[in-house]
Amino acid sequence: MKKPLTAVIVGAGHRALGYAAYALSHPDELQIVGVADPLPRRRQKVRELYRFSEDSCFETAEALAQKPKFADFIINGTMDQQHVPTTLPLLEAGYHILLEKPFATNLDEMQLLVDKAKTCGRKISICHVLRYTPFYTAIRQKVAEGTIGDIINVQALEHVSYHHMAVGFVRGKWNKKSYSGSSMLMAKSCHDLDLITWMKSGINPSSVASFGSNLQFRPEKAPKDHGTRCLVDCPIESDCLYSARKHYIDHPDRWAFYSWDSIEHIENPTIKDKIASLKSDNPYGRCVWTCDNDVVDHQSVVINFADGSTATLNMIGGSAKPQRAIHLIGTKGEIEGRFEDSKFVIRHIDPRPGHEYSEETIDLNVEGDMTGAFGGHGGGDLRLVRDFLQILRGETPSISSTPIEDSVNGHRIGFSADHSMEESRVIEILPQ
Domains of the chain by residue range:
5-126, 130-217+293-377+400-428, 224-285
Quick one: pLDDT at residue 379? 73
Q: Are β-strands 57-58 and 30-36 bridged in parallel, bridged antiparallel, or unpaired?
A: parallel
Q: Does the global pTM surpass 0.85? A: yes
pLDDT for 377: 57
pLDDT at 155: 98
Q: State the pLDDT at residue 1.
A: 61
**pLDDT on residue 370:** 43
What strands lie across the sheet with 5-10, from one edge to the other?
57-58, 30-36, 5-10, 73-76, 96-99, 124-126
For the chain, which ranges sit under pLDDT 70?
A: 1, 366-378
The predicted pLDDT at position 358 comes to 96
> CB of 344 within 8 A of CB of 195?
no
CATH superfamily, domain at 5-126: NAD(P)-binding Rossmann-like Domain (3.40.50.720)
| Distance of alpha carbon 323 from alpha carbon 316, whole angstroms | 10
What local confidence, expressed as pLDDT, does residue 376 receive? 59
pLDDT value at residue 189: 97
**CA 388 to CA 123: how far, in whole Å?**
9
Is residue 90 a contact partner of residue 61, using CB atoms and an 8 Å limit?
yes
CATH number given to 130-217+293-377+400-428: 3.30.360.10
